Chains A and B, each alone.
Chain A
Amino acid sequence: MSSTRKIIVVTNAFLFSSGIESLALELSGLLVEHVYTGSEKKLSQKIIGAKPEFVIIDPEAIKDSLIPLLRELNEDPEIITIGLVNSSTSDNIISRFSNTLNTTGNKFQLIEELQRIVGKEVAKSDNEQLISKRETEILKYLVMGYTNQDVADKLFLSIHTVMTHRKKINRKLGIKTVSGLTVYALMNNIVDIREVERSI
């Protein structure tokens, strides 16, 4: 989940392309790599060549060549097609996309839909490699309310080693207090809210 997942958008409407870019920004890990208009030459080759994970298409932008384009894109197993639809879009068109986004939805609904399509894991930000595995383990115990001595006993380390790790964690994250570390650990799913309830 460390790499960003690419989106290509096909639309003539600026409102759609800029709207999608702002939605992608809400879900970190997503990147709108390119926006094409429907009249772009060799559109399908360009899209497939860019190896995107998602292609969001406004059917209005392509009209006649929509069905052949979708047929080509759907042959590539790596590509997920998403149609921008509304209540007047015909079922014939809707059924050719692997997913759809309803353009009349409000921001919240659109983000929900997009998140459902791209999968939950992209919503999490990507901080894991910031602290090492050992440090993450120690962080976890600290925010659960264990003392340095407890952690040392649990992990068969000297208290001095625990303190050194602790200082490293503080420095790497820029967070010194246990309450601050708790927020960090919860945001990054290092601990579960139930595990820290006593200590926060």
Chain B
Amino acid sequence: MLLEKDMKLADIIIHDISLVPVISRFGILLGFGDESIEGVCKKKSIDIDFLLTILNAFHDPQYLDKKYLQSFSVDLLIQYLRKTHQYYLSNKIPEIECLIDKMELESTIDKSSYQLLQKFFKDYKTELVKHIDREEKVVYPYVLELNNAIANDEITSSLIEKIKKYSIKSYEEEHDNVEEKLTDLKNIIIKYLSPSQNQQSRFRLLKELTALEKDLAEHAIIEDLILVPKVELLEKNVLIS
């Protein structure tokens, strides 16, 4: 289903509950009333094209394949990506850590297995932090610099040098998949942990892992299919001028 601006936001959320964390990144909180997407955007001065693109991309993974370059600004995009990172690091990761810790604490005979899961997830977190750090400290600043230079018409030779040394192409190549380990973790829990009474906790953990997995995959799609092409265009503009 294609999500459009005159649809009621409430209907869309009922239809796909996993969009809740997405809208909250735009500052739309539950209890938003009965308005259309357009109405909500107006009230909150949110760029509607941008919100619709993100919602559609999240709702239907094939959506971006059909889409041409979007009109919204790179600033907006990076703001959103940073917020998403923040959501992973201060919400999702601690929640999952907490669930695993609780299971370890309550476990009786299989303590060592849960300790392995704790260790696995701790390493995963380190890796994710590194991934995010690289983007926030190297990739995004580079993109913003390009964008500002074009906007202010201040294209320096050092910027051109920079593009030649580090283009967004290298980011595209180095951009690794951070969901794979979550899938492994889910398989371990489903198939290989000894059966025990704590099924409810395991179910909750699986739900959290699945939600994070989906969110990360979507986030990566936005980076690969929206950010990268946009930046390629910016690079081209700088090099031509």
Residues of A within 8 A of B (CB): 22, 25-28, 107-108, 111-112, 115, 123-125, 127, 173-177, 179-180, 182-184, 186-188, 200
CB distance from A51 to the nearest CB of B (A): 24
Task: Pick the contact of B180: A26, A176, A188, A200 (CB < 8 A).
Answer: A176
Give the A-B pair count, Cβ closer than 8 A: 68
Task: Pick the contact of B191: A26, A28, A124, A174 (CB < 8 A).
Answer: A174
B109 near A179 with CB under 8 A, answer no
User: Is residue B155 within 8 Å, beta carbon to beta carbon, of the partner chain?
Assistant: no
CB distance from A71 to the nearest CB of B (A): 33
- Take A28-B194, A173-B187 as given contacts and tell me if A180 and B181 are in contact as well, using a CB distance cutoff of 8 Å: yes
| Cα(A176)–Cα(B117), bound, Å | 16
> Which chain A residues lie closer than 8 Å to B181 at the CB level?
177, 179-180
Task: Give the B interface residue count (CB, 8 A).
Answer: 24
| Cα(A134)–Cα(B124), bound, Å | 29
B116 near A180 with CB under 8 A, answer no
B197 near A183 with CB under 8 A, answer no
User: Is residue B188 within 8 Å, beta carbon to beta carbon, of the partner chain?
Assistant: yes
Task: Pick the contact of A123: B109, B120, B180, B187 (CB < 8 A).
Answer: B109
> Which chain B residues lie closer than 8 Å to A22 at the CB level?
197
| Cα(A13)–Cα(B195), bound, Å | 25
Contact with A along B178-204 (1 / 0, CB 8 A): 001101110110011111110000000
CB distance from B170 to the nearest CB of A (A): 23
CB distance from A27 to the nearest CB of B (A): 6
CB distance from B229 to the nearest CB of A (A): 28
B187 near A25 with CB under 8 A, answer no
- Take A25-B195, A28-B195, A115-B109 as given contacts and tell me if A176 and B184 are in contact as well, using a CB distance cutoff of 8 Å: yes
A125 near B192 with CB under 8 A, answer yes
Query: Secondary structure of the A side of the interface?
Result: helix
User: Is residue B90 within 8 Å, beta carbon to beta carbon, of the partner chain?
Assistant: no
Question: Closest residue of chain A to B187, judged by CB?
Answer: A174
> Which chain A residues lie closer than 8 Å to B183 at the CB level?
176
User: Is residue B119 within 8 Å, beta carbon to beta carbon, of the partner chain?
Assistant: yes
- Take A26-B197, A179-B184 as given contacts and tell me if A184 and B108 are in contact as well, using a CB distance cutoff of 8 Å: no
Nearest 9 Cβ contacts at the A-B interface: A180-B184, A174-B187, A175-B184, A28-B194, A111-B108, A125-B194, A183-B116, A108-B108, A177-B181
CB distance from A186 to the nearest CB of B (A): 6
Query: Secondary structure of the B side of the interface?
Result: helix
> Which chain B residues lie closer than 8 Å to A180 at the CB level?
120, 181, 184-185, 187-188
| Cα(A191)–Cα(B194), bound, Å | 18
| Cα(A6)–Cα(B181), bound, Å | 37
CB distance from A171 to the nearest CB of B (A): 11
User: Is residue B123 within 8 Å, beta carbon to beta carbon, of the partner chain?
Assistant: yes
- Take A108-B108, A174-B187, A177-B184 as given contacts and tell me if A25 and B196 are in contact as well, using a CB distance cutoff of 8 Å: yes
> Which chain B residues lie closer than 8 Å to A174 at the CB level?
184, 187, 191
| Cα(A7)–Cα(B16), bound, Å | 47
A27 near B109 with CB under 8 A, answer yes
User: Is residue B113 within 8 Å, beta carbon to beta carbon, of the partner chain?
Assistant: yes
A183 near B188 with CB under 8 A, answer yes
| Cα(A107)–Cα(B106), bound, Å | 11
CB distance from B102 to the nearest CB of A (A): 16
| Cα(A179)–Cα(B193), bound, Å | 16
Task: Pick the contact of A107: B108, B113, B192 (CB < 8 A).
Answer: B108
> Which chain B residues lie closer than 8 Å to A124 at the CB level?
194
Quick one: which of B148-195 are within 8 Å of A by CB?
180-181, 183-185, 187-188, 191-195
CB distance from B180 to the nearest CB of A (A): 6
Quick one: which of B194-219 are within 8 Å of A by CB?
194-197
Q: Find the residue from B108, B120, B181, B187 having the highest chain A CB count within 10 A.
A: B108
CB distance from B198 to the nearest CB of A (A): 10
CB distance from A118 to the nearest CB of B (A): 11
Task: Pick the contact of B123: A175, A184, A188, A200 (CB < 8 A).
Answer: A200
Question: Closest residue of chain B to A108, judged by CB?
Answer: B108
